[in-house]
Structure 1
């Protein structure tokens, strides 16, 4: 308990020091920023942002950073960027070199290193001269002949950069403010009582001048302390200002007026003051502890803040702000206005706290649980707030600040709670929606399904409940009616009500729906104003509706049916908005990165016409210099355009309309992040490509081009074409005839091969049905009959007849399955085993990877090789006759291997024996199969291969026949 209290005390002490800051975007090298140390920044007339950095000069166009350098440049760092009357960008470096950008190149104008001796001067460029302001004098350099002269013959000390006002220069010289014309002829001067030779008082830095109309603020550094004067150029009055102690010894880099405020960029951030009774009254500070070098306001009202070592901060909208919170408090899920400018909020890590939005004081109320705060509601009668977490519920007395634990598990993890008049509540949770009494006891269950949210109507007293099965409305008697849209269930994420008694429902993907009398009367989606169909939080504001979408925050005027939008370009730092709270003059919204607010009357920027310019013109994918018009050959007809609209994050928030007159007069719109258009194979003719930025702009950029007619549209080409076409037809006709002849020859050859295959198959059948085999079989049957072995005779006869039938059936097929072939081989070997008087040991091994019912082999093909093994190898042995058949597949499963192994007398011995008995004899079965293999291979991509080798190489006994058959499946 003591630990819990001490943590709360520590939180209260620390968080009370936090302040309200403008919502900003911090750019570093992680975001593609080319450097983190910047000395100057300007926006040019074309809305390019120019950055003078430690690593060099960069240009930002809203999409990318372009780097500019010169081969003679001494050192990378550049300073003092400015734009002249011709639109050229100038910069200088500490080595005394002055550069300007022209035609996208950095040009060295002049090197004044010998004159400046390492001094980094300030400078200006007018129509005729580069004017350099050093600590002692002013140099003028003619832009045409680069002649260097002293603009002021007399040497002065500590000359500051002048301000221009009504065609005059104002600058400081020692203890005077000098007014000259543009040729530096003195017009007037005003003495400043800041330099006294008698006491050797010294000014250690030339003055900075900042103007606000006719009022100049003069800043000096004397004795390492800042001194400020107010100078009225009309009244010619000069008054010394009181400086806050905190500002006396700080490094001040820039002073400028913003409305009635004075902003100073310092080594500890931006210090903001108001001038009251000749005193600089401190107002607030921005970017504390950051060394700020420069701040500018661009044409789109974005504030760019450059720093020394921290990159760039961008404030897209000065009227959108955020509250500085500790890391434990930024991941906010729910907020509620409890009065007296106080906001009660809960985080996703279980913190409960309040913040005074005027004094910026933060008080942490509860850190006892790390479960997220899922709901906060206010009692409409008692000064009480109910805070619901996933594992606990708390009651806060708003007047006393007392926080009590509520022991009611029904509330834990509630997604939404609505108060119905003064007597009851409706609660939505992950499992149901229930009605509770005033003491949070269950009365009855409204919906027995997961509920997303609910809302109690003020006027009709109806209760709306959104569930996983749709949107339901309950009347006073709690009769349930489902509201559908286009006969589809409505899956609502947030519900609210505007003053015109319209119930508004946001959806997961269908935009927002307006409901009256239990019917959808109006819808908004991307087609009529919504930035995205995916919406989340809704919050009513009289007859306005604040809408959080995945692409921005919008304000809908439900009466006028008009939208105002706030995107990242307008200053919204995040689109993951979890809750919205409307106050009198501002709106607060929260997300996983903190609490933000905006001023209703000033947060919406005025929509400005965006200027589009071409960045690339491509012909056949080759880039060409940008011109107003082009004349192209007929084959230069693949045309591409790249364009851009400058400005911060313009690549995210800008879309373009374009058309190609001469091809199509209808305007088309690019997709998001697309800034190019390509046309392929354009016909010859005159074209005009036009593009403009959205929102609709009056400024249209145009490039005209003509594609000449090709040579084939001339008369001589038509004559030549007819001749060539005639020749082509002739040659095509001849080629067709030759092709038909070749095809006919191939058909005849195929028929011949098929015929030969049939004959070969018949020869194989003859070899298998040879008289010797039939005679032996019949003799065996006769022997069984003579010996009165009726059963053996019957069995042998059945096998013999079955084998004959199989052979006859196979003779009608060119291929059979391996299963059918194995059956025939089994029967054949059983019959032959009888012939060998059972002195035959055979086996058939089939790999398990073979699908014997799908793999096919040529019919009547394998048996002749088995017969040869028996007839020529094993028949001549008296005993130990062994025959083995092995079937398996290769690694790719596309070749069937059949190995026939016998331990007979061998090939050589068999040849000698046969030669002595019947000279010049060759096995009929062997020759038939060899012929068939040759014929089969003529019709196959992968040939069948048969190899015969001795099984025992040393003794040359036994025989191994290996047959490789490419698989053909059923």
Structure 2
């Protein structure tokens, strides 16, 4: 859509310039230049690049512990927010499948598309004893029974023994669909069959012309109602208390792949996105029209997961209007009173109205260069931006000047001057020569009439500028260059600012109050006070060792960008918190803050986040998966008393993150020892050659500076029999008795020898 508007805008401007007429059409153009806010929410993509075994995903499920499960084209996969584990075996007839469920024994089940059932138990995939298959149908788990359609019958398995408990004969020529709730199993054939857990069967007559309206049915549940959709029509039936009621979807798709009931709405999954019909308000919305959707799921933490048949899984925190889809992608942001100006790829500038979130294109060219730097002078209303040239755009959105100079950064010094850092040139320039400034002297002193430019005075030459900043406290302009950090005052004096007598190489500098904050080429932060003293920026321990790719100071906050996260540091409270996770499929390049709303420039568009909701994300969970003693798995409730030779203990755990790409290290302590922290990627605690004592092992997740979700494992390694007191006392007694016997023996020998003499 954006490209269409760009083309239209260009054609229209050419027309007006050439024809110089039809002024009224200009207002039509202004209306057309507004881009509608996309209905697609901000989302993460979880696909093969993230570790998913296949981009074809057919079903989504969350187990009782909180793990996510995906039925993929390469098998059943378990996901903890960071790592995938796929369960397959050679005895499977095929790996692709659907209908994931969990029984009361903690086993995870699914059916492959050949109609055979498999389950994961204690980390191993196994097959249900099943001689034949009718093809793929959904099965049902109700209490301790498993319901499965088979030729001419419904088999009921005892889940404890996995043996057939009942066989309910069905004489229907064909079963079109099966579905299970927590209480009932339904089979749809010539009748609607309803099976309960107590071997009770109820047969319901279908409405007249049912299969004319429902050619290929899909069944789901809304409250106590059973919803029966058609894959190829808009008609659907609801069934409750033995009665059918006919309804119709509006704007339904030509073909429906699946349905889900979420938030009192039918979510219709199609090859062209999701169609959502609210059954209460009767409103409808569409999402992801470019995606081939197979299923939609809402987890226990109100996160949404959408599976696709070719692009993996989409993770959506919420479907509220928190995302503006912009292409070309936004790169740089600058905030004014009520607007955000957005510099993007392909030399295009948007203006975003903060109140209504509508975007307007105010500049475009035929260049493919990205706008890496954008600045708005609130006095003159001029916009300065850098793409393949340095440009000045006036308040009428016209280029009034452009210069062939690669400017990397500009900052406001006072009402008259700006400082600039460019390749080979650093200095100041004015926007109104009639104003007076304390920097007039140095400007006139360094002005070079022979150099054609933009009202600038060169303070440094033959050096590459990377960034610049002005500190009004000491009336000093700072330049980050390839030769170090240079400070220049308005009396013309300049000097290099060093850290511990070493040249410091910074790539970006910004000010907060009387300090300059700088990011070095080694991705560390430094602070420069008004006395030009440099020190390392003091950060909390949990991010002190992070590498920062960029940072931005907005109001009293410093936003720190790492490879996987963005943190917010509050200069006033000195508190730090994570505000956004970054997945592999997205790049974040800038952020501004307005009315407690954060606006992020990302490779997908503008992401909007409310600062008040930062703490609303659920905390991660620590899950103990299994314990191995001497290489053999032992149930957790059996790890209480171990034999002396059972002294090699391995604890396997998962840090269950409810947002993809969230990583948390785990710490542990043994008895009264100090806490030790494992590596992010280490999910096993190995303890070898433990001594025979009582052990209290604690594990906890490190979240910022606190330890959360403490898990405790207690066991005792028995002492060997020779260390028990009774054995020691008995041994000592026997030994003393032996010594006494030897002693008496020797005495008798001596006495006998004396008698012989």
Shorter chain as denominator, the TM-score bin is 0.7 to 0.9
| SS of corresponding position for 1:334 | strand
Separation in 1, partners of 2:259, 2:33 = 31
> Which position in structure 1 is the counterpart of 2:749?
none
> Which position in structure 1 is the counterpart of 2:374?
376
Q: Say if 1:57 and 1:68, in contact at 8 Å, map to a contact too.
A: yes
Q: How far off its partner does 1:88 sit?
A: 1.5
Correspondent of 2:103 among 84, 88, 105: 84
> Which position in structure 2 is the counterpart of 1:51?
70
Residues 1:257 and 2:283 aligned together: no
Correspondent of 1:690 among 686, 694, 698: 698
Separation in 2, partners of 1:149, 1:556 = 64
Correspondent of 1:351 among 347, 352, 360: 347
Distance 1:171 1:111, change over 3 A: closer
Q: Say if 1:418 and 1:427, in contact at 8 Å, map to a contact too.
A: yes
Correspondent of 2:89 among 69, 73, 81: 69
Residues 1:221 and 2:230 aligned together: yes
Tell me the TM-score normalised to structure 1 length.
Answer: 0.59
Residues 1:654 and 2:664 aligned together: yes
Q: Say if 1:96 and 1:111, in contact at 8 Å, map to a contact too.
A: no
| SS of corresponding position for 2:235 | strand
> Which position in structure 2 is the counterpart of 1:415?
408
Q: Say if 1:631 and 1:708, in contact at 8 Å, map to a contact too.
A: no
Correspondent of 2:385 among 384, 387, 396: 387
The residue correspondences of 1:469-548 to structure 2 (distance < 5 A) are: 471=485, 491-497=505-511, 504-509=517-522, 511-512=524-525, 517-518=530-531, 524-525=537-538, 527-530=540-543, 532-548=545-561
Separation in 1, partners of 2:491, 2:246 = 76
From the CA coordinates, give the structure whose radius of gyration is larger: 1
Correspondent of 2:55 among 29, 36, 42: 36
Q: How far off its partner does 1:658 sit?
A: 1.3
Q: How far off its partner does 1:688 sit?
A: 4.2
Aligned residues: 674
> Which position in structure 2 is the counterpart of 1:671?
679
Q: How far off its partner does 1:697 sit?
A: 2.1
Q: Per-residue displacement from partner, 1:266-296 (whole Å, max 9, x unpaired)?
A: 222233454575x3422x412x333222233
Tell me the TM-score normalised to structure 2 length.
Answer: 0.73
Q: How far off its partner does 1:668 sit?
A: 0.4
Separation in 2, partners of 1:446, 1:240 = 79
Separation in 1, partners of 2:582, 2:649 = 37
Q: Say if 2:220 and 2:226, in contact at 8 Å, map to a contact too.
A: yes
Q: Say if 1:660 and 1:690, in contact at 8 Å, map to a contact too.
A: yes
Q: Per-residue displacement from partner, 1:608-646 (whole Å, max 9, x unpaired)?
A: 241231446364xx5554551463556x76655443334
Separation in 1, partners of 2:492, 2:221 = 69
Distance 1:121 1:527, change over 3 A: same
Distance 1:161 1:624, change over 3 A: closer
> Which position in structure 1 is the counterpart of 2:653?
643
The residue correspondences of 1:508-657 to structure 2 (distance < 5 A) are: 508-509=521-522, 511-512=524-525, 517-518=530-531, 524-525=537-538, 527-530=540-543, 532-566=545-579, 570-573=581-584, 577-584=588-595, 586-590=597-601, 593-600=603-610, 601-602=612-613, 605-615=616-626, 617=628, 619=630, 622=631, 624-625=633-634, 628-629=639-640, 631=642, 633=644, 640-647=650-657, 653-657=663-667
Distance 1:261 1:712, change over 3 A: closer
Q: Say if 1:526 and 1:533, in contact at 8 Å, map to a contact too.
A: no
Separation in 2, partners of 1:346, 1:590 = 9
Separation in 1, partners of 2:624, 2:90 = 26
Separation in 1, partners of 2:673, 2:343 = 55
Correspondent of 1:402 among 398, 401, 417: 398
Q: How far off its partner does 1:419 sit?
A: 2.2
Q: Say if 2:260 and 2:295, in contact at 8 Å, map to a contact too.
A: no
| SS of corresponding position for 1:530 | helix
Distance 1:201 1:323, change over 3 A: same
Deviates more, 1:99-108 or 1:153-162: 153-162
Q: Per-residue displacement from partner, 1:109-129 (whole Å, max 9, x unpaired)?
A: 34273xxx6253323212232
> Which position in structure 1 is the counterpart of 2:144?
128
Separation in 2, partners of 1:504, 1:317 = 35
Separation in 1, partners of 2:187, 2:644 = 63
Distance 1:162 1:31, change over 3 A: closer
Q: Say if 2:50 and 2:584, in contact at 8 Å, map to a contact too.
A: no
Q: Say if 1:466 and 1:492, in contact at 8 Å, map to a contact too.
A: yes
| SS of corresponding position for 1:653 | coil
> Which position in structure 1 is the counterpart of 2:440?
none
Correspondent of 2:275 among 271, 275, 280: 271
| SS of corresponding position for 2:146 | strand
> Which position in structure 2 is the counterpart of 1:244?
250
Separation in 1, partners of 2:86, 2:293 = 23
Separation in 2, partners of 1:231, 1:397 = 64
Q: How far off its partner does 1:508 sit?
A: 4.3
The residue correspondences of 1:911-922 to structure 2 (distance < 5 A) are: none
Q: How far off its partner does 1:305 sit?
A: 2.8
Distance 1:43 1:10, change over 3 A: farther
Distance 1:524 1:674, change over 3 A: farther
Q: How far off its partner does 1:455 sit?
A: 2.9
Residues 1:281 and 2:281 aligned together: no
Q: How far off its partner does 1:657 sit?
A: 0.5
Distance 1:54 1:378, change over 3 A: closer
Structure with the higher helix share, 1 or 2? 1
Q: Say if 1:171 and 1:209, in contact at 8 Å, map to a contact too.
A: no
Q: Say if 1:151 and 1:184, in contact at 8 Å, map to a contact too.
A: no
Distance 1:169 1:148, change over 3 A: closer
| SS of corresponding position for 1:578 | strand
Output the aligned Cα RMSD: 5.0
Task: Show structure 1 runs of 5+ residues with no match.
Answer: 720-970
Q: How far off its partner does 1:669 sit?
A: 0.5
Q: Say if 2:558 and 2:570, in contact at 8 Å, map to a contact too.
A: yes
